[in-house]
Structure 1
């Protein structure tokens, strides 16, 4: 059977992570105990994990035409992600996110304005969407996400959407309605419920609850998986790893219950390593599932 192809579209960043003894309060100070640099960005993170799980993965997005853009491409290329649709924008800089991680793995994020939203729907040839088996959209301009989702629906390509932290200041309602699966964390779900974005969804709504697992709701029925115990090193990218695991399981015809378990396993495994680009294998997942 052919390996499914997943097209991931959205942010491609470079992450600079500082590990500190605590997250400081206003006017406070913390000690840096370690630091790490690697590729990041929600679409990039999800594509990375999907590729390490053996799926054929295509990434669409944009970086600056600079050293950081080259470095994140190299990381993705090494695990087999097709980066031919990641634009290197002349004269622009790659978006860099500065992450401050405390000893419990909790993250504070600072970002510059870079090139990750220069990318738009016209950057992706129609054939790339049509030939995919699945489209996963992450945080990006609503007009870009909406157009890509519409193209996928017209081509009978399933769509998932993970809007990320900007949900409260962007109008993503149309994208939610076009998606077969919507991924939200608890704060994003609260924001979406206040705007009634979830009221008319026909697909699966997945709410990621971190160490407390996740739920999936469809047709008024909710299933839950309680997650796995973990001693996190870094929670950066764990939600994207969860999405990758859930998508991979669904493409293997798994039930929502099994997909939640696989997603939670990927999220837990991602917290064990530094940085957002986590290499996860099915052997890793099976070992964690067997430990339950």
Structure 2
């Protein structure tokens, strides 16, 4: 499978604390970690780790954070098509508490300084376009272009789904990933009828696993019982695992199991990117069922 991921490329600074401070309070930073992030970049790296070819379309600033993000992606084997904009790369400051839950602070970086027209000719010669959070006009234009070229589209809109109008992109997606909050926003907003006929809908439920609605049926995997360290990037690992498993011919139930294993592995690591591999997934699943 060849996948083109389009969306955010960030530099992440993760601060682990035992608890979030009260107002005017203070807590001690137990661990600090810096690495590349951004949903599109995370999925691309994870897809490469699972033995499929990934390319990435997005933007960074012309600063040190941008250079570090590019270098990590190249080292991971991801083919990059990044617009370099004047200004700073988007930096996310992630505060993670003792339960692995995340509070995110962002600067106004250059992770949306790209247009659909910036994508070079020939780059969409892939099996799948995976869209993550980005300006709605860009997402819709890329999805239309993919459809015209016979490329399947998956869409994981992310945190800003409730306050961005993706009504033109949803009908163009063959597969949509949402968490419970995003699924509620879809039900309260455009509605499930915004999805194309035959589109697959995956709803992640955190520690409670995930469900897939496809072919008029609902498939459920209850997930794995773990103590999360940092849930940053767990949804991106889930999406990559699901896409890779389906590309390898796995059925819906098996793909959900693989995806939940990837999300769980990511939740036990600090930072947005876990060390995913098929061997790591098999070892995790075997240990989880012992």
| Pairwise TM-score range, normalised by the shorter structure | over 0.9
Count of equivalent residues: 286
Offset at 1:199? 2.1
Matched residues in 1 for 2:253 and 2:185: separation? 25
Indicate the residue corresponding to 1:100 in structure 2. 95
SS at 1:173 equivalent: coil
Matched residues in 2 for 1:25 and 1:148: separation? 43
Contact 2:47/2:54, CA 8 A, preserved across alignment: yes
Offset at 1:53? 1.0
Contact 1:10/1:140, CA 8 A, preserved across alignment: yes
Indicate the residue corresponding to 1:52 in structure 2. 49
Residues 214-252 of structure 1 show CA distances to partners (whole Å, capped at 9, x for unaligned) of: 000123311100111222221100000000001111111
Matched residues in 1 for 2:47 and 2:276: separation? 9
Contact 1:48/1:279, CA 8 A, preserved across alignment: no
Matched residues in 2 for 1:19 and 1:31: separation? 9
Contact 2:167/2:194, CA 8 A, preserved across alignment: no
- Among 275, 284, 288, the residue aligned to 2:280: 284
1:40 aligns with 2:52: no
1:22 aligns with 2:16: no
Contact 1:126/1:151, CA 8 A, preserved across alignment: no
Offset at 1:24? 2.6
- Among 168, 183, 188, the residue aligned to 1:174: 168
SS at 1:113 equivalent: coil
Offset at 1:290? 3.1
What is the RMSD computed on CA atoms of the aligned residues?
1.2
Residues 18-167 of structure 1: matches in 2 within 5 Å? 18-83=15-80, 85-89=81-85, 91-129=86-124, 131-167=125-161
Indicate the residue corresponding to 2:251 in structure 1. 255
Matched residues in 2 for 1:196 and 1:178: separation? 14
Contact 1:185/1:208, CA 8 A, preserved across alignment: yes
Offset at 1:75? 1.0
Offset at 1:126? 3.7
Contact 1:213/1:225, CA 8 A, preserved across alignment: yes
Indicate the residue corresponding to 2:185 in structure 1. 191
1:6 aligns with 2:3: yes
Instruction: Name the TM-score, length of structure 1 as normaliser.
Output: 0.95
Contact 1:173/1:197, CA 8 A, preserved across alignment: no
Uncovered stretches (5+) of structure 2, i.e. residues with no partner: none
**Greater CA drift, 251-260 or 10-19:** 251-260
Matched residues in 2 for 1:219 and 1:207: separation? 15
